[in-house]
């Protein structure tokens, strides 16, 4: 049973393969083909043909031969121009897309930056350029230069083709070459040592199809493939595999997510509080969070003043506070007109404050000033406070301070 099927299949393939052979040939000459015995002969023959000024000819050898391009007088491929043109188009399209999206269609102010500027657009522009260049090179080569999907050359399945793909070397000069003349070409072939000359005629079917891309059969195959692929993809992803989650063993382990309910504990809450007597390590929650100023009187600066501490405080102050408060704490920072102007840090209120009060403002925020607890570590906050005190003292230096400074 199986062997019969296999035999049938083999016969079918053989039958299909020889279909072209049995197709009637027309009276229209495709070209003259000459066969040679040795590689040296074919190189000389190719150079002769090119030297006589023929342009529509090709050489067929059983293996790639060095020096053939030169002998045939082939110029370098023009596919580069196609790549360049589409690459340039890709670059312009990508730039246009980013410019349009970020400065026309969806303007977003991010840190006061311009809507469109070149540096952040470079990666997409690069991708766009590479994408279109790649596509242009491959399709330009296949379609424009190799004339795919035209796969029914009159040379297919000819005796000539069979011999040059085993151990002979051949040249074909096409009949539509401007210089083509039957007798001249034969003379040229024989003078170069050709041992056989064949006339190749078009098949009836070759004459029918003018532009293979518009061939109905070809187009329907492309469409059928596209539709089939779409259906298969849709069915597999949206129906068959829709609720199959890959690698879900970590997701589906026995655990309780935060904020979720648990029947195991008496209070039904999945989240647990730390055990009594737990000692916090590394991170200490701010104990005056959201409380009024008066409650922080007890907070005092644990850092001793030193040159290092002051320098660190100055550095952090210049980074995190100066944009609004100004380098000297006078409320004249670079953010003016973009953010409410803060009061001077040299006002009587802040002068009278304890260090704890300033710490509270940095940690907790005050009205429009946000909390800087996320950006500035506890120790840095205290360093900044020492630095603010230094700024204040510099503005209100006493006579004693001046004598000391001398």
Report in angstroms how near the CB of residue 357 gets to ligand HEC at its nearest: 7
Report in angstroms how near the CB of residue 326 gets to ligand HEC at its nearest: 10
Contact call for residue 339 and ligand HEC (CB under 6 A): yes
Report in angstroms how near the CB of residue 120 gets to ligand HEC at its nearest: 24
Report in angstroms how near the CB of residue 395 gets to ligand HEC at its nearest: 15
Q: Is 286 exposed, middle or buried (0-12, 13-18, 19+ CB in 10 A)?
A: middle
The answer to whether the CB of 45 falls within 8 A of the CB of 173 is no
- Which candidate, 78, 82, 116, places its Cα nearest to that of 99? 116
CB-nearer residue toward ligand HEC: 174 or 341 = 341
Joined together, the tokens standing for residue 320 give 């995190």
Give bridge partners of residue 35 from the DSSP assignment: 170, 196
CB-nearer residue toward ligand HEC: 62 or 331 = 331
Burial pattern 336-349, b for ≥16 Cβ within 10 A else e, equals eeeeeebebbbeee
- Which candidate, 101, 105, 98, 100, places its Cα nearest to that of 121? 98
Give the integer Cα–Cα distance in Å for 205 and 25: 9
- Which candidate, 197, 165, 189, places its Cα nearest to that of 64? 165
Span from 107-115, 175-183, 246-254, 338-346 in contact with ligand HEC (CB under 6 A)? 338-346
Contact call for residue 384 and ligand HEC (CB under 6 A): yes
The most distant pair of C-alpha atoms in the chain lies apart, rounded to whole Å, by 119
CB-nearer residue toward ligand HEC: 60 or 372 = 372
Report in angstroms how near the CB of residue 367 gets to ligand HEC at its nearest: 4
**Binding track, positions 358-377, relative to ligand HEC; x by CB under 6 A:** x--xx---xxxx--x---x-
Report in angstroms how near the CB of residue 264 gets to ligand HEC at its nearest: 44
CB-nearer residue toward ligand HEC: 158 or 322 = 322
CB-nearer residue toward ligand HEC: 37 or 354 = 354
Span from 26-34, 194-202, 273-281, 347-355 in contact with ligand HEC (CB under 6 A)? 347-355
Alpha helix ranges (H) inside 105-251: 118-139, 159-164, 182-191, 204-208, 216-234
Hey, which residues between 274 and 333 contact ligand HEC (CB under 6 A)?
A: 320-321, 323-325
Give the integer Cα–Cα distance in Å for 371 and 373: 6
CB-nearer residue toward ligand HEC: 310 or 350 = 350
Long-range own/partner contacts, residues 134-137 (CB < 8 A, 24 or more apart): 135/86, 136/82, 136/83, 136/85, 136/86, 136/87, 137/79, 137/82, 137/83
The answer to whether the CB of 322 falls within 8 A of the CB of 333 is yes
Measured in whole angstroms, the distance separating CA 355 from the mean position of its chain's CA atoms is: 52
Number of residues that bind ligand HEC (CB under 6 A): 24
Binding-site member from 67, 123, 208, 340 for ligand HEC (CB under 6 A): 340
User: Which residues have C-beta within 8 Å of that of residue 298, sequence separation ≥ 6?
Assistant: 356
Binding-site member from 18, 191, 295, 347 for ligand HEC (CB under 6 A): 347
Binding-site member from 113, 234, 343, 401 for ligand HEC (CB under 6 A): 343
Report in angstroms how near the CB of residue 383 gets to ligand HEC at its nearest: 10
Residue numbers of the site for ligand HEC (CB under 6 A)? 320-321, 323-325, 335, 339-340, 342-343, 345, 347, 349-350, 358, 361-362, 366-369, 372, 376, 384
């Amino acid at each position: 049973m199986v062997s019969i099927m296999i035999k049938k299949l083999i016969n079918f393939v053989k039958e299909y393969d020889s279909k072209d052979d049995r197709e009637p040939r027309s009276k229209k000459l495709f070209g003259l083909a000459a066969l040679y015995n040795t590689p040296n002969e074919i190189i000389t023959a190719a150079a002769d043909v090119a030297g006589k000024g023929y342009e529509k000819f090709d050489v067929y050898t059983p293996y790639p031969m060095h020096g053939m391009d030169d002998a045939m007088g082939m110029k370098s491929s023009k596919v580069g121009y196609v790549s360049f043109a589409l690459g340039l188009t890709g670059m312009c399209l990508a730039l246009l897309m980013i410019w349009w999206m970020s400065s026309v269609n969806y303007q977003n102010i991010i840190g006061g930056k311009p809507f469109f500027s070149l540096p952040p657009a470079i990666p997409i522009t690069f991708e766009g350029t590479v994408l279109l260049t790649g596509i242009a090179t491959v399709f330009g080569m296949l379609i424009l230069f190799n004339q795919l999907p035209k796969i029914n050359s009159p040379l297919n399945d000819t005796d000539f083709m069979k011999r040059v793909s085993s151990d002979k070397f051949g040249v074909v000069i096409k009949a539509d070459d401007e210089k083509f003349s039957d007798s001249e070409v034969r003379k040229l072939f024989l003078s170069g040592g050709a041992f056989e000359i064949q006339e190749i005629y078009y098949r009836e079917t070759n004459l029918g199809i003018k532009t293979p891309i518009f061939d109905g059969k070809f187009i329907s195959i492309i469409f059928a493939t596209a539709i089939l692929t779409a259906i298969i993809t849709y069915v597999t992803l949206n129906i068959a595999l829709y609720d199959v989650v890959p690698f879900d063993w970590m997701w589906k382990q026995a655990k309780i997510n935060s904020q979720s309910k648990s029947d195991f504990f008496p209070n039904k809450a999945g989240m647990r509080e730390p055990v009594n007597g737990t000692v916090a390590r590394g991170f200490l929650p701010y104990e005056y969070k959201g409380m009024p100023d008066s409650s922080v009187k007890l907070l005092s600066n644990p850092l001793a003043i030193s040159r290092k501490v002051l320098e660190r405080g100055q550095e952090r102050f210049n980074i995190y506070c100066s944009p609004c408060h100004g380098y000297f704490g006078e409320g004249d920072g670079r953010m003016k007109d973009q953010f409410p102007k803060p009061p001077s840090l040299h006002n009587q209120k802040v002068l009278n404050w304890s260090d704890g009060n300033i710490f509270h403002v940095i940690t907790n925020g005050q009205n429009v000033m946000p909390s800087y607890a996320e950006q500035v570590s506890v120790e840095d906050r205290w360093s900044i406070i020492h630095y603010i005190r230094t700024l204040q003292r510099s503005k209100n230096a006493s006579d004693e301070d001046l004598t000391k400074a001398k």
